[in-house]
Structure 1
């Protein structure tokens, strides 16, 4: 069994971060989102992985390499344009051959991994198995419709009027039967080859398509709000520990990881939080659910429920909250302007000025 890991796409919902960085490499708890997917694939006993790459291919290659760091054998599959998930399957045909495979969206996050799902698929081998989860806003996702027995009877991509609240999670399992389906479908109104259309074609053709509804945690990290929420979820499982230096004037509360080479002086850090290697925290407050990457400097500032990427500095800023701060950013207070009031007042006026 192989894996097809999708790491193309432009990440428009995470701009301006993704103007200069692949969305799959934005870190959660100081580790790129993509790495969690690679680890889940390896834990499921899959060793051969094809990574679909687009305009950020060079950055993905540099971060992942040949996959040996994850116990994987990685092959890169270029996709000139992000023309849909089914298009990714289409261009990966030669690589996938006649093997079963799991398709994993590189910007998705599934707590608990995919091992049980892969084991069940290997044992049962339906033509396809999809993951579903209940969501509050199904119109933003691919939506599945199930019959009374729980079989998949319909699928629709981002429907205007959803027929259920069951959204497709970004993990799919297929036998080679899917290759006929992706060749048979036409581009959608979005100009893309939709995987939902391919799966629906399989259903209409009488193929065995099954689903698993998960109650665990899943997020598409395509926007800042979800990225911060995933960061919060991962930090909840954090093991604290100080490998760096914390002086006596500082206070560490709860599960906080201070990585090697980091220094904390005259500060208060409330976990769960992680301070990256060679980062300096001085005279500051770092609040819960905050990830500070390596080589940063936080001085005379407060940062909470935020992600700060490598090489950035926050100095003299009273409060930073629910923020995603890119690499090599410099944040400082704006200079104060002299306050003045200018009036033209008529006779017998009464004026109150707030001091």
Structure 2
């Protein structure tokens, strides 16, 4: 069995961060989202991985390398444009060959991994197996319709009038039957080859398509709100560690991870919080669910429920929260300009000016 990991999207919903960085490499608890998926694939016993890459290919290659750090053998598959999930399967056919495979969207996050799902698929080998979860906004996802027996009878991509609230999670398992399906469908109104259409083709052909509905935690980290929520979820499981230096004036409360080379002085840190290697925290408050990457500086400031990427500084700022701060960013107070009132008043006017 092989894995196909999709890492070619543009990440428009995470701009401006993704103008200069691949969305799959934005860190959650100081580790790129993509790495969590690769670790889940390795844990499931799959070692041969094809990574579909686009405009950010060089950055993905530099971060992942040959995959050996994850116990994987990685092959990179260039995609000229993001033309749909089924298109990714189409261009990966030479890599996939006649093997079963798991397709994993590189910006998705699933707590608990995919080992049980992969084992179930290996044991029973339906033509396709999809993962579903209930969502409050099904119009934003691919949506599955099940009959009374729980059998998948239809799929729609981002329907205006959804037939259920069951969205497709970004993990799919296929036998080689999917290759004929992706060759048989036409582009959608979006100009993309939709994987939902390919799976529908299998359903219409009376092939064995099964679903598993999960109640655990899943997020598509395509926007800032979801990215912060995933960061919160991962930090909930944080194991405290102190490899950096902390002075006697600092108060540490709860689960806090201070990585090697980090320095904390005169500050109050309330976990769960992770402070990256080489970062300096001085006379600051770091509140719960905050990840500070490597080589950052937080000084005379307060920050909570946020992600700060590498090389950035927040100095002299009263309060920052629910924020995603990119790499090499400087956040400082705005200058205080003298204020004055300029008035042109008619006769007998009455004016009240707050002091």
Q: TM-score range by the shorter chain?
A: over 0.9
Trace 1:1-355 onto structure 2 (pairs within 5 A).
1-355=1-355
TM-score by length of 1: 0.99
How big is each residue's C-alpha offset from its partner over 1:247-287, in whole Å with a ceiling of 9 and x where there is no partner? Answer: 11111111110111001111111111100000000011111
Counterparts of 1:352 and 1:275 in 2: how far apart (Å)?
A: 50
Deviations 1:218-266 (A, max 9, x none): 0000011100010000001111121101111111111110111001111
The Cα offsets for residues 144-202 of structure 1, whole Å up to 9 and x where unpaired, read as: 00000000000000000000000000000000000000000000000000000000000
Residue 349 of structure 1, CA deviation = 4.2
In 1, the alpha carbon distance for the partners of 2:91 and 2:345 equals 75
- Give the CA deviation at 1:47: 0.5
- Looking at structure 1, the residues matched to 316 and 71 of structure 2 have their Cα atoms a distance apart, in angstroms, of 44
List per-residue Cα deviations over 1:92-124 (Å, max 9, x = no partner): 001000000000000000000000000000000
SS at match of 1:196: helix
How far apart are 1:71 and its partner, in Å? 0.3
> How far did 1:353 drift?
2.3
Using the alignment, how far apart are the partners of 2:311 and 2:325 within structure 1?
Answer: 10
* Residues in 2 aligned to 1:3 and 1:101: alpha-carbon distance in whole angstroms: 5
1:133 and 1:310 mapped to 2: Cα distance? 34
1:346 Cα offset (Å): 4.2
Please report how far the alpha carbon of residue 350 of structure 1 lies from its aligned counterpart in structure 2 after TM superposition: 3.9
Give the match's secondary structure for 1:354: coil
Secondary structure, in 3 states, of the residue corresponding to 2:150? coil
2: CA distance, partners of 1:245 / 1:354:
48
Task: Find the aligned partners of 1:349 and 1:86 in 2 and give their Cα distance.
Answer: 72
Following superposition, the deviation at residue 351 of structure 1 comes to 3.2
CA distance in 1: counterparts of 2:348 and 2:94, whole angstroms? 88
Q: TM-score, normalized by length of structure 2?
A: 0.99
**Offset at residue 344 of structure 1 (A):** 2.9
Q: 1: distance between equivalents of 2:257 and 2:264?
A: 11
Gaps of 5+ in 2: none
Unpaired stretches in structure 1, ≥5 consecutive residues? none
1-structure distance, mates of 2:259, 2:192: 43
* SS of equivalent residue, structure 1 residue 3: strand
RMSD of aligned alpha carbons? 0.8
SS of 2:120's equivalent?
helix
**SS of equivalent residue, structure 2 residue 154:** strand
SS in structure 2 at match of 1:66: coil
Deviation at 1:354, TM superposition (A): 1.7
Shift of 1:339: 1.1
Using the TM superposition, name which of 121-130 and 341-350 deviates more.
341-350
**In 2, Cα distance between equivalents of 1:57 and 1:130:** 27
